[in-house]
Amino acid sequence: MLFLSSANVESFMVNFQYGVLIFNNIFLLLFILLIVAKIFSQEFSNGTYLLILSKPYSRFTIFLLKYISIWLMIFIFLVINMLATFLVGF
């Protein structure tokens, strides 16, 4: 027979919450990677990269701004994910 004390249940809930958080973060990072790949490939297939390169910005500046926006998107999604996990877990 299994006896569950409140300490065992509490430690299980904390471990489960962290497990869900880790799984969601890995899934989220893979999802963001797919979105980024689609964004870059769509620019070449639609020809919008020619319009972007016609502006008076260097290629490095354009790439850096895209890189920063990707990290900003990752940060926002992770914060939303952590808040959702915290609210559901407690």
The pTM of the full predicted model, rounded to 2 decimals, is 0.57
Question: Which has the higher per-residue pLDDT, 12 or 25?
Answer: 25
Q: In whole numbers, what is the pLDDT of the chain averaged over residues?
A: 78
Mean of pLDDT values over 23-47 = 82
Q: Tokens in use for 9?
A: 């249940």
Question: What is the secondary structure of 18-54 as a DSSP string?
Answer: HHHHHHHHHHHHHHHHHHHHHHHHHHHHHTHHHHHHT
Q: Percent of the chain scored above 90 by pLDDT?
A: 4
**CA dist 13 → 3, 5, 31, 45, 81 (Å):** 16, 12, 27, 47, 18
pLDDT at 76 over 60: yes
pLDDT at 7 over 50: yes
Reduced to 3 states (helix: H, G, I; strand: E, B; else coil), residue 83 is helix
Residue 44's pLDDT is 83
